[in-house]
Amino acid sequence: MTVPQPPEPIPGARLLFSLDPSVSHLNHGAYGAVPIVVQRAQQRLRDEMESNPQRFLAQGLVERITHARRHLAAFLGADPEGTALVGNVTTGAAVVLQSLGLRPGDEVVTTDHGYAAVAMSVARECRRTGAVTRTLSVPLAATDEEVVEIVRAGLRPGRTKLLIIDQLTSPTARLFPAAALVAVARERGVPVLVDAAHAPGMLPATVASVGADFWVGNLHKWAYAPRGTAALVVAEPWRERIQPLVVSWEQDAGFPARVEWQATLDYTGWLAAPVGVFTLRSLGVERVRAHNAALAAYAQRVVGDALAVAPERLPEPGGPTVAMRLVPLPPGVATTVDAARDLRAAIADRLAAEVSIAGWNGRGYLRLCGQVYNTPEEYERLALGLPTLLARG
């Protein structure tokens, strides 16, 4: 198996961020990192708001949000009239779930690679409506064809009212064949919600090419937007049915304004989000994607070698631009939520590295991300110290 080589750094990229240089920030996929220029753009907007709150919030703000939304929708390859800005993917998923009109006997189908907070939202809506949820088990090493067949066999036309799939899974860093899964569900008359939390900025597929009934992705991870910026894209037949979680003054305006307008919410992050997209484009979107994916592959191999994980046992994400990789931890390590949290904290405290640790199907995994501010030496330092830390427990 070919040993991945670290990519050449993008000159000056590290200086775009205000991250603490004494810490290795290897978990970009969790909360992202906001470039300094985007921070400043948002602060200017906040200054404008605080200089005259009445004018900022009551004169032209809806139009400014619409302008920002159109810019972001164009970047995503989405219809701006079917796109609403929301706080994050879990918010968008909750909007969709409570708009479906689920009834007793209906079911929502998910996979065991889904994000836990979305699963919680599904469970709550099912309890409220009398519907049920069913989780399909998808092996980590399943091929795209096998994933499609598992989902095909798991749908029950007439009863399955929603299929929720991830475009790129959070706990397992696995790229799912989203467009193929949407096509299978459409054959059976089942609407699909795609959790695309990690897609904007990382994956080249446009929203239109996925073709889902509902698609929701965070721009504050890989597209350098301020936190609390996500896009919910809804296919035309569903738009009139979409209702906000909280009714406010744009309710009669219909979708998307009725979802976006939440009274005195701080909208400055949404208005500054196009600056994040501009920053990404200035660096070169394809250049950043290739750099980050290559760096994540190098990180996986370096840390995997340190933990004596054979290269063939390192999970493959399934895509050339995927900038997150998994390393299996020794059996019995970090298999529970509490144990994973404690190990993550220990790595942060003792090795000065921020990483993601999660248990999935009885096995603990370390998830590593690659971003333009990272260097190969950061992963090498983690690889050097991690075996000793794990041995000490």
Predicted local confidence at residue 297, as pLDDT: 97
Predicted local confidence at residue 393, as pLDDT: 72
Q: Residue 310: exposed, middle, or buried by beta-carbon count in 10 A (0-12, 13-18, 19+)?
A: exposed
- Report which of 321, 299, 318 is spatially closest to residue 366, judged by C-alpha positions: 299
Q: Give the sign of the dihedral formed by CA 66, CA 67, CA 68, CA 69.
A: positive
Query: Residues 72, 237, 149, 194: what is their CA dihedral angle, to the nearest 10 degrees?
Result: 30
How many C-beta atoms lie closer than 10 Å to residue 315's C-beta?
17
**pTM recorded for the entire structure:** 0.96
Predicted local confidence at residue 318, as pLDDT: 84
Predicted local confidence at residue 392, as pLDDT: 85
**What's the start-to-end Cα distance of the chain, in Å?**
32
Strand partners, 369: 324
d(CA 353, CA 329) in angstroms, rounded, equals 16
Strand partners, 175: 168
- Report which of 141, 200, 182 is spatially closest to residue 323, judged by C-alpha positions: 200
Model pLDDT for residues 334-375, shown as the tens digit of each residue: 999 999 999 999 999 999 999 999 999 999 999 999 999 999
Strand partners, 88: none
- Report which of 115, 173, 195, 391 is spatially closest to residue 299, judged by C-alpha positions: 173
Give the pairing of strands 160-166 and 107-111.
Answer: parallel
Strand partners, 230: 86, 218
| Amino acid making up residue 227 | R
How many C-beta atoms lie closer than 10 Å to residue 363's C-beta?
17
Close Cβ partners of 112 (under 8 Å, ≥ 6 residues apart): 135, 136, 137, 138, 360, 361
- Report which of 59, 158, 66, 142 is spatially closest to residue 106, judged by C-alpha positions: 158
d(CA 388, CA 145) in angstroms, rounded, equals 40
pLDDT along the chain (393 residues), means of 10: 85 96 98 98 98 96 98 98 98 98 97 97 98 97 96 97 98 97 97 98 97 98 98 98 95 96 95 98 98 98 97 91 97 95 97 97 97 98 97 83
